[in-house]
Structure 1
Amino acid sequence: MSPEMKTLLNIFILGFGFMFMFAAFQTCGNIEQTVIKSFNSTEFHGSGYTSMAIIYGVFSASNLIAPSVVAVIGPQLSLFFSGLVYSGYIAMFIHPFTWSFYTASVLVGIAAAVLWTAQGNLLTINSTDSTIGRNSGIFWALLQFSLFFGNLYIYVAWHGKAHITDEDRQRVFILLTVISLVGSFLFFLIQRTEPESTSSEVTESLLPKEVCESNSVYVICLFCELCHDTFLSVGLELTFYSGVYGTCIGAMTLFGDNAKSLIGLSGIFIGIGEILGGSIFGMLNQFNRFGRNPVVLLGLFTHFLAFFLIFLNIASDAPLAPEEGTNLQGFITPNVALLCSFLLGLGDSCFNTQLLSIVGFIFRDDSAPAFAVFKFAQSITAALAFFYSNYLLLQWQLLIMVVVGFIGTLSFFVAEWTAVSHRRDSDYDSI
């Protein structure tokens, strides 16, 4: 097998592994707040929003040590052991206790930092400057197929159910645990490759390394020079589409007895948007003469449209409603909820494919710290967003995402122009 085919096969295996793992974990995050509200136990006092806040808070702090972990045990074992922790978190829902719920949340936060740092490292060492955009798109599309399978099961199994029983919960989470374990073991199929050497300083950091002598200072420099505002924007959007929006749909009594099953259908439509965007924009990267900025701008407009329609469509107290739901309604009849799900997925894929591409492009020779910084900024914002989701009405959550999304897009434009300018200067100097 040629080196090019081997690296492409590794990208597909990486994508399929994440697809199985996150078919379980993303479905878990999408339904856990709804499941917890239906859990009839005086011994359990957990909140799905609080759990996610803990996960992403620990995730952000753990990104400072994740590159060292990946360097010591290697990206392949990092992926496998992190996957086992994810499976343990999902299995905890079979019979949850408050202490096990929050303990598992802390452990998943640590595992997530290692997992995503290893993913970025493997993506980069199996790519070249000309294939990083394509490979980012392939990985992102495969990852987002995960939104289909678990959510499709939720839609079918919960159709017409106004209350989720203990048996319903246990059946779902046993299946999700098994699916997650399959994804973890797939990582052992990834073949070892050597990263290609580069002939110039084009793929090195935009800052000279002598300015960043220690690893910790180097990480700070990476954070400062990259489009950190865009990372923050992606973190807020991750919170909203992965945990808050599904809860809002499930709380709308205007949807009748199908409200709970529509959570699964919403996840499927988010996945359609993610897969479509990842496939198109990732593949077009290598043929796009205009760079990454037009795709990011499209993502901004797509999200703004989705936020506006959600504001009109969903009741303001839906994120905070009890198990019986809310009798309030938005400004219009809630008939575009699934269209909004699709737009959320499409817009998110615009941002993420381009962020993966630009981080791998700029920091090809030292990708693990760079991807750790990416996830640090994204996860700390997601933690904050999950925390305030316990208290803020829907319109205020949407307003925060609009403001941060606009600032983040401008930040990405600056990072892209800087990267392109540096490439041109380096090409000129090498003549």
Structure 2
Amino acid sequence: MAIDQGTKNVLRLSISFLLLFFAYMSQEYIQEPLIEEKHKTGGNIDPHAGYHSFAITYFFFTLSCLFVAPIIDKISAKWGMVLRFSAYIAFQYGFIHMNTYYVYITSASLGVGGAFIWVGQGKYLTENCTSETIERNIALTWFIFKFCLLGGGIFLYVLFYNQKMNEFLESGDYKTFVYICCSISLLAAINTAFLPQSVYVPERKKHETFAKTLKATFKIMRESPMLLLVSIFLYTGFSRSFWIAIYPTCIKFTPALGDNTAKLLAMSGIATGIGQIVAGGIFSVLGKRVRILGKDMIVVIACVLHLICFVLIYLFFPYDAPLHPTQNVGTFEPNAYIAIFCSGLLGFGDAIIQTQVYSFLCDGYSEESSHAFALFKFYSAISSTIAFFVSKYFTLAGHLVLYGVFAILSAITTVLAQRLYFHKTRHLNLNLSLFN
């Protein structure tokens, strides 16, 4: 069966994201434990700079999301992404010396760059999908993209197979690691610069100023379907913050899991990647047949899986595991197999939720995709900022209660959104006057 040009474009875009986030997330996954170790050896960096960096990144990401849509509409999704890849490379390079101020400044730049990249991705995807290919292409994007986690986990496993985090720093291997990450990110930028023109570009509205396009974003923000999706938008931010930084830190700070928790951390990344890839693979195969079950029911299943995972983590991890290395235990003795299983389950559930959110927005806001994805990333970034801000104060129970509440809210509001609005029409704004 021939592959249409839109799908080919989506595949090319997916390769760029695979390369960029293989490099970035490999570094991100060990960021806080690495900085903590550097501080112990007398490095010029705050021990919690990893958490602070995440908070700064998502704070600026939050602010930027509301303003990037008009810019991307002007310069195109492709060039919006390309121009901001430099922010990722600059941030990664800063780990050569790990200076607190450099990390914080580049974290802010990274937040702005991330807004361009993710909103641009959503717009480019929408412009290369039809109603027949949307579920398949989104799942395919996720399937390819999430090999970055699997590849990054294997990469870290090899790095830490015979050495612990302090040995990794002392040997100077981490500098080689940073150079490799920067080079791969540069390849991603080059590949994105040569992406083909989108296939299904909507007709540009005449004389639309920056102020008008910004006003359109705030108009969509107030619409009932978008308001119902706010809970799941927020939950995607909480979920990602947990599996990318807080949960890996729990593993690293729980020595009862084994002698080399850095190696276990890499195995956790592999498991999360496998979970994400399996979910993406399932939905890329099922494609539009997913509609039979319904996007809302799929989200409910994913939220239930995450709630089960939260219970297991609460039972098997010490209450203070997110904060510092601890000899405490949870209700049961920490178990490496349970830890890895939870990593996979977190990745699997997160991939399901993310792909369904993309499907909701591409279906419902095909002509305003940049505005809709900007709002999605805006709310997601708010919750990530909150999660990282409170991370050095919250015990494990505090995190899990917060995320559990939003998982339940997401399931409820998604069902309402699907039943009230998203089943009525492919493009919501054609009929919104009926509901407002």
Q: TM-score, normalised by structure 2?
A: 0.89
Which 10-residue stretch deviates more, 231-240 or 289-298? 289-298
Of 188, 192, 197, 2:193 maps to 188
Shift of 1:41: 3.3
Structure 1 residue aligned with 2:208: none
Q: Shift in Å at residue 111 of structure 1?
A: 0.3
Match of 2:183 in 1: 178
2:406 aligned residue: 404
Q: CA deviation at 1:423?
A: 5.1
AA paired with 1:119?
Answer: Q
Q: What is the one-letter code of the residue matched to 1:361?
A: D
Decide which moves more: 73-82 or 280-289: 280-289
CA contact (8 A) 1:128 1:196 kept: no
Task: Kindly provide the amino acid, as one letter, of the partner of residue 177 in structure 1.
Answer: C
Q: Distance in 2 between the 1:15 and 1:254 partners?
A: 38
Query: 3-state SS of the aligned residue for 1:318?
Result: coil
Q: Does 1:73 align with 2:72?
A: no
- Alignment partner, residue 329 of structure 1: 329
Q: Give the aligned partner of residue 286 of structure 1.
A: 288
State the partner residue of 1:10: 9
Q: How does 1:245-284 map to 2 (within 5 A)?
A: 245-284=247-286
Once residues 153 and 233 of structure 1 are traced to their aligned partners in structure 2, the CA distance between those partners, rounded to angstroms, is 29
Question: What is the CA distance between 1:282 and its match in structure 2?
Answer: 4.1
Q: 1:420 aligns with which of 414, 417, 423?
A: 423
Q: What does residue range 346-385 of structure 1 map to in structure 2 within 5 Å? A: 346-385=348-387
Q: Which residue of 2 aligns with 1:43?
A: 44
Name the counterpart of 1:303.
306
Displacement of 1:144 after TM fit? Answer: 0.8
Structure 1's 141 and 254: CA in aligned 2 closer, same or farther, altered over 3 A? same
Q: Which residue of 2 aligns with 1:131?
A: 133
Contact 2:246 2:322 in 1 (8 A): yes
C-alpha separation between the residues in 1 aligned to 2:394 and 2:54? 16
Do the aligned partners of 2:138 and 2:355 also contact (CA within 8 Å) in 1?
Answer: yes
Name the residue aligned to 2:214: 216
Aligned to 1:34: 33
Bigger shift: residues 217-226 or 284-293: 217-226
> Residues 39-118 of structure 1: matches in 2 within 5 Å?
39=38, 40-45=41-46, 47-118=49-120
Q: Deviations over 1:380-428 (max 9, x none)?
A: 110110111111001110010000111012111122221112459989x
Give the AA of the match of 2:269: G
Instruction: Name the stretch that deviates more: 35-44 or 367-376.
Output: 35-44
Q: Deviations over 1:122-181 (max 9, x none)?
A: 000000112111111011111111001222121121124342424132122122111221
Q: Secondary structure at the match of 2:258?
A: helix
Letter in 2 for 1:305: I
Aligned-pair CA distance for 1:342: 0.4
With 325-334 and 163-172 compared, the bigger mean Cα shift is at 163-172
C-alpha separation between the residues in 1 aligned to 2:382 and 2:159? 34
Following TM superposition, by how much is the alpha carbon of 1:50 offset from its aligned partner in structure 2, in angstroms? 0.9
Q: Judge which range, 286-295 or 258-267, deviates more.
A: 286-295
d(CA) in 2 for partners of 1:382, 1:399: 15
Q: What amino acid does structure 2 have at the position aligned with 1:220?
A: F
Q: Paired residue for 1:317?
A: 320
CA spacing shift, 1:42–1:424, aligned 2, 3 Å = closer
Q: Distance in 1 between matches of 2:417 and 2:381?
A: 20
Query: How far, CA to CA, are the matches of 2:221 and 2:278 in structure 1?
Result: 30
For 1:215-268, what per-residue CA distance to the aligned partner results, in whole angstroms no more than 9, with x for missing partners? 334222323432011100111001000111111111111133320111111011
Alpha-carbon distance in 2 for matches of 1:149, 1:348: 18
Deviations, residues 82-102 of structure 1 (Å, cap 9, x unaligned): 222111111110112111100
Does residue 165 (structure 1) correspond to residue 169 (structure 2)? The answer is yes
Unaligned runs of at least 5 residues, structure 1 = 199-212
Structure 1 counterpart of 2:370, one-letter code? A
Aligned length: 409
- Code of the residue aligned with 1:106 in structure 2: it is A
Q: Which amino acid aligns with 1:171?
A: T
Q: Is the 8 A contact 2:364 2:426 kept in 1?
A: no
Match of 2:21 in 1: 22
Give the counterpart letter for 2:45 in structure 1.
F
Over the matched positions of the two proteins, sequence identity in percent amounts to 28
Could you list the runs of 5+ residues in structure 2 that have no partner in the other structure? Answer: 204-210, 432-436
Q: Does structure 2 conserve the Cα–Cα contact (< 8 Å) formed by 1:6 and 1:191? A: no
**Aligned mates of 1:221, 1:405 — CA distance in 2:** 27
Secondary structure (helix, strand or coil) at the match of 2:104 reads helix
